[in-house]
A = this chain, B = another copy of it.
Amino acid sequence: MHFTSEQRLDDGVLARDFTLGEIPGTLWTPASDAPVPLVLMAHNNGLPKADPRLVARARHTAARGYAVATIDAAGCGDRPRSAAAEQARADLRRAVQAGRPADELDEIFESLVGPLVAGAVPEWRATLDALLRLPDIGGPVGYSGGWAALGIRLAVAEPRIVAAGFFAGGYVPRAQREEARQVTVPLLFLLQWDDEGNPRRRALDLFDAFGSKEKTLHANLGGHTGTPSFELEDSCRFLDRHLK
């Protein structure tokens, strides 16, 4: 893991870009003498790690006493584009905008997100290995992200993750919808009740499917990107209960 840039932000958080092989990432760490817990913060498929909403969540969470890390998925952000993935994304956007039925979207979705999840999981685990070797990161490890499919796969595959916060995806590949039963860590599931881009019924079914004994659903109005700011604080309080 090589750090390529370093910036001290006004809230005392240190933001460092890094590369791990071909993987570009960013790590935010608070001013702290002791090692801090780690939060893996993924973003929805296609969004770059520099997405302003992701960066704002990461900074706020880091200022609350966490190391927060994110990486760009293959074909996203600072990584070379794949013609196939770009095509699939464009198809999916068109189909969603055209209001195609969920079952129809599924096929495009599986073909786009299925492989992306499969490819991203080993990269996140390699990043986790490297991060936990840093002296200022202690663990335990949590997941908090808008990419529910990745979070489900990681929570099942990665025993070091002890709590997970998901921003509900109504669209999650079949494999992860089935895998949800195997997720047993405490989880916070955040849903936009009137999210035009995510079928509510499916999101509720996904929440119902998780195997966790402690799972909490938060739902709000405001559309796909209208999550109220107080949910950011609620997410931190969820992490505090399980990582501190």
Contact = CB atoms under 8 A, between A and B. Distances in A.
B221 A219 contact: no
A204 B205 CA distance: 13
A175 B218 CA distance: 27
A217 to B, nearest CB: 4
B230 A220 contact: no
Contacts of A219: 207, 216-217, 219
Interface in A188-239: 193, 204, 207-208, 213-221, 228, 230, 233-234, 237
Given A193-B208, A204-B204, A230 B221 contact: no
A208, A214, A219, A228, most chain B CB atoms within 10 A: A219
Interface residues of A, number: 19
A233 B234 CA distance: 11
A241 interface: yes
A183 B223 CA distance: 20
Contacts of A241: 230
Contacts of A208: 193
Nearest to A204: B204
Given A193-B208, A204-B204, A208-B193, A221 B215 contact: yes
B221 A214 contact: yes
A218 B221 contact: no
B230 A237 contact: yes
B204 A215 contact: no
A217 B241 CA distance: 20
A198 to B, nearest CB: 15
Contacts of A204: 204
A199 to B, nearest CB: 14
Interface of A: 193, 204, 207-208, 213-221, 228, 230, 233-234, 237, 241
